[in-house]
Chain A
Amino acid sequence: MPLHYSKKVMEHFLHPRNIGEMKDHDGFAEVGNPVCGDQLGFYIKVKDGTIKDVKFLSFGCASNIATASILTEEVKGMTLEDAKKFDWNKIVKDLGGLPKQKVHCSILAVDGLKKAIEDYEGRKK
């Protein structure tokens, strides 16, 4: 079945923002969806309680890449507290919608980011 991805999804898939490794990060987490098999890795750099920089790695579908890409754009500069409350519905909306079976990609992306924050907070303790 054709997926009918929106223009915005395709744009982020073809030109993902903030992609690649981050050497001197403050937090890192890897997540995967056991059903579809897709995986994401998130790196964050934190300063004064805000996300100063964020990068991601992806082994996943076009929507996996696009959702993580737009998420990194939206949370860069955000306080950790706000980022922890980030609602995946916002990504779906901002991407101009996702195919029904692809909505979970946005949930995986947000989960990955939150786990990277947890990793950062764990290190501080």
Chain B
Amino acid sequence: MQVYLDNSATTKLDERVFEAMKPYMTEQYGNASSIHFMGEENSLALIKAKEDVGLILNCDHDNIIFTSGATEANNMIIKGVARANKDKGNHILVSSIEHPSILKTVKQLEEEGFEVGYIPVDSSGIVDVDQVKKMVKPETILISVMTVNNEIGTIQPVEKIGAFARKQGILFHTDAVQAVPYVPIDIKQWNVDFLSLSAHKFNGPKGVGLAYINRRAKIIPLIIGGGQEYGLRAGTYNLPGIVGMTEALKLAYEEREETVKKISELSAYFWKRLQEEVEDVQLNGDLKNRTPNNFNIMFRRIEGEAILMDLSVKGICVSTGSACSSDVLKASDVLKSIGLEKNDLNSNIRFTLGKFNTREEIDYTIDALKVTVERLRNFTPLK
């Protein structure tokens, strides 16, 4: 049996999305910037995609910029906004549990002379809004806090931070990659100026994402060239990707209720069996404020990479924040920031469910996991 429980890393493309994309590869392949009818048709398809996305995210459709993914969107927003607003201040606030596409980007800005504040999280993995209020300075130009954390699935208080930032006149960005479809996104209600998404995290194609950009804010584009996307992001429009992303986002929210119900039931069943049948396990991150698809679990006294490899041989795909599985032998910063002890840092496995998972797969996984954990615990020197 093959069981894919790494849906926060990427997801399987929905067949219906694939069908929607196909004509834009083999028939309607015109360049959306061309003036002839094939270009015009695709230009209309592009506008239609933005309108559809705008309705779902509750924002003006011409504030949507398609990119190659959230990595690019995050780079574009953080660098573009910081560099364009230098005259107003040089201070940026980000949460300490952001994705590397934010954390490495602000590191680069530090080298350019920006000052960065890292908002800590409590032991449940959630940013405290009062902490944000304490950390802002008169020079703060941008705050970035993700909607949902990718490692532990905790939901952050973005609406509260957005309201505060708006009142202070500080620009606010949220990386909402892991929110779809679990958290309904509402750009106006949340008072966000910038938001990032990536299609392959919600059964869309890889290599396409978007940046919502409040076009009243100043931003210096990262990728320049042929003037596409109002000059904010050059490069021939990736129509198959854009159409695919739009279709995937539409399906994700149209079917949100049933997806969330299915995944919540499966994950409750998973967690119940795991707690009953495997000793000494602990869920990382807040028990309530989390998306139902994410289970980051500590298996005390055994090492994450060994668990992962053992499961992988049995056809089960999961991920780990353990140091051993990282190229630079560094344990997860997110798990560090929620205060895990040294030995515990390397004993965690992230299971992320998706809409295609079944109860049989969960049963198979638990059965396999019991054998794996017992095998490895049999020879651990840790007490």
> Measuring CB to CB, which residues of chain A are less than 8 angstroms from any residue of chain B?
1, 3, 5, 10, 13-14, 16, 19-20, 30, 35-41, 56-65, 101
For B382, give the chain A residue with the smallest CB separation: A59
Q: Which of A37, A62, A101 is close to B345, meaning CB atoms less than 8 Å apart?
A: A37
Evaluate contact between A59 and B305: CB separation under 8 angstroms: no
Q: How far is the CA of A91 from the CA of B236 in the complex (A)?
A: 52
With a cutoff of 8 Å between Cβ atoms, the chain B residues found around residue A36 in the complex are: 323-324, 329, 346
Q: What residue in chain A is nearest B345 (Cβ atoms)? A: A37
A-B residue pairs in contact (CB < 8 Å), sample of 21 = A3-B309, A13-B306, A13-B309, A16-B379, A20-B379, A30-B381, A35-B323, A35-B329, A36-B323, A38-B346, A39-B381, A40-B381, A41-B381, A57-B381, A58-B379, A58-B380, A62-B306, A62-B309, A62-B310, A64-B303, A64-B324
Residue B343 at the chain A interface, CB threshold 8 Å = yes
Inter-chain residue pair count (beta carbon < 8 A): 75
Asked if A61 contacts B342 (CB within 8 A), the reply is no
Nearest-CB residue, chain A, relative to B309: A62
Give the CA-CA distance A62 to B302 in the complex, in Å.
Answer: 11
A61 and B303 in contact (CB under 8 A), knowing A30-B381, A35-B329? yes
Q: How far is the CA of A61 from the CA of B378 in the complex (A)?
A: 15
Q: A36-B329, A101-B328 are in contact. List 11 more A-B contacts (CB 8 A).
A: A1-B327, A3-B325, A13-B309, A36-B324, A37-B343, A57-B379, A59-B303, A61-B303, A62-B310, A63-B324, A65-B306
Residues of A within 8 A of B313 (CB): 10, 14
| Minimum CB–CB distance for B209 against chain A, Å | 22
Q: Which residues of B contact A (CB under 8 A)?
A: 301-303, 305-306, 309-310, 313, 322-325, 327-329, 331, 342-343, 345-346, 378-382
9 tightest A-B contacts by CB?
A61-B324, A57-B381, A61-B305, A41-B381, A62-B309, A36-B329, A36-B323, A37-B346, A19-B379
Chain A contacts for B305, CB-based, 8 A? 61-62
Contact of A37 (CB < 8 Å), options: B309, B323, B379, B381:
B323
Residues of A within 8 A of B325 (CB): 3, 61
Residues of A near B306 (CB, < 8 A) are: 13, 60-62, 64-65
Do B378 and A20 touch (CB < 8 A)? Answer: yes
Least distance between A34 CB and chain B CB atoms (Å) = 9
Q: Is the CB of B324 within 8 A of A39?
A: no
Contacts of A64 in B (CB 8 A): 303, 306, 324
**A56 contacts which chain B residues (CB < 8 A)?**
379
Chain A residues whose CB sits within 8 angstroms of the CB of B381 once the complex forms: 30, 39-41, 57-59
- Give the distance in Å from the alpha carbon of A20 to the alpha carbon of B310 in the complex: 18
In the complex, what's the smallest C-beta–C-beta distance from A38 to chain B, in angstroms? 6
Q: Would B343 and A59 count as touching, CB distance under 8 A?
A: yes
Chain A residues with Cβ below 8 Å from B301 are: 59
From residue A12, how far is it (CB to closest CB) to chain B in Å? 12
Closest to A30 in B: B381
Q: With the chains together, A115 CA to B342 CA distance in Å? A: 23
Q: Which residue of B lies closest to A99 (CB)?
A: B327
Report the separation of the CA atoms of residues A39 and B382 in the bound assembly, to the nearest whole angstrom. 9
> Which residue from chain A places its CB closest to the CB of B378 in the assembled complex?
A20
Q: Looking at the complex, which one of B303, B310, B323, B329 makes contact with A14 (CB distance below 8 Å)?
A: B310
- Interface-central residue, A19, A20, A30, A37, by most chain B CB under 10 Å: A37
With a cutoff of 8 Å between Cβ atoms, the chain A residues found around residue B328 in the complex are: 101
B379 touches A38 (CB 8 A): no
Contacts of A59 in B (CB 8 A): 301-303, 343, 380-382
A38 to B309, CA, bound (A): 16
Which residues of the other chain, B, contact A16 by a CB distance below 8 angstroms?
Answer: 379
Q: How far is the CA of A60 from the CA of B309 in the complex (A)?
A: 12
**Known contacts A10-B313, A13-B306, A14-B313; is-contact A60 B324 (Cβ 8 Å):** yes
User: Which B residues are in CB contact (< 8 Å) with A19?
Assistant: 378-379
Within 8 Å by CB of B303, from A5, A20, A38, lies A38
User: Which residues on A sit within 8 Å (CB–CB) of B331?
Assistant: 37
Q: Report the separation of the CA atoms of residues A62 and B309 in the bound assembly, to the nearest whole angstrom.
A: 7
